[in-house]
Amino acid sequence: MFMQHILEKARNIRMVVFDVDGVLTDGNLYLTDGGEEIKAFNSHDGHGLKMLKASGINIALITGRQSRCVDLKARDWGISIVYQGAKSKLPVFKALLKEQKLDASACAYVGDDLIDLPVMLRCGLAITVPAAPAFVKKHAHYVTRLEGGRGAAREICEMIMDAQDVLDAQLATYLK
């Protein structure tokens, strides 16, 4: 019953907005001696993002930090909507909705910390990861089985594609 409710919400999603640290990465921030920040991204997550985009769902990234590697990965994944340095994510989300001519109910948001709650409380499908604080999980519609940076994004992408009856078509392209 619970999962059916989530799938019903996922059927209406037209855009998925992802936080980066803790969602598309494991949340660890590595710094070199020169002060450069290094992040690790999961290739399965990246391929899930590409499949979701190919199925017609728009993808955006909103992150509170600023990092060149996020721009590089977004370009690799074909994601052109990237907001970095967003210390307050709600105004960015509202501007994004206006720009994309979407209602918040047509958006899923994936976040893992308190800074993500203002958006999670307003979107159609609020998703978090197992490592999120209990208070964040309490306000999410869905908590992924897999951890951030370790398959959570792929899980989300496949769940949304499955709910919209396009997952099998995406997977079939690899059987030719």
Read off the pLDDT of residues 100-120 as tens digits, 9 standing for 90 and up: 999 999 999 999 999 999 999
Question: Could you tell me the CA-to-CA distances from 43 to 25, 40, 118, 153 in Å, in that order?
Answer: 11, 10, 29, 10
User: Are 147 and 129 contacting, i.e. CB atoms less than 8 angstroms apart?
Assistant: yes
Six-digit token string for 45: 């997550």
156, 108 contact by CB (below 8 A): yes
Rg for the chain, CA atoms, rounded: 15
Pick the CATH number of 2-172 from 3.40.630.30, 3.40.50.1000, 3.90.870.10, 3.40.50.2300: 3.40.50.1000
3-state secondary structure of 174: coil
pLDDT in tens, 141-167: 999 999 999 999 999 999 999 999 999
User: pLDDT tens digits, residue range 46-102?
Assistant: 999 999 999 999 999 999 999 999 999 999 999 999 999 999 999 999 999 999 999
Determine the straight-line distance between the first and last CA of the chain, rounded to whole angstroms: 36
Burial of 3 (0-12, 13-18, 19+ CB in 10 A): exposed
pLDDT digits (tens, 9 = 90+) for 58-73: 999 999 999 999 999 9
Between CA 160 and CA 10 the distance in angstroms is 5
Residue 176 pLDDT exceeds 80: yes
- Helix 2-11 to helix 152-163 angle (10° resolution) is 80
Helix (H, G, I), strand (E, B) or coil at 108: strand
What pTM was computed for the model?
0.96
3-state secondary structure of 24: coil
Q: What is the pLDDT of residue 37?
A: 87
Coil, strand or helix at 128:
strand
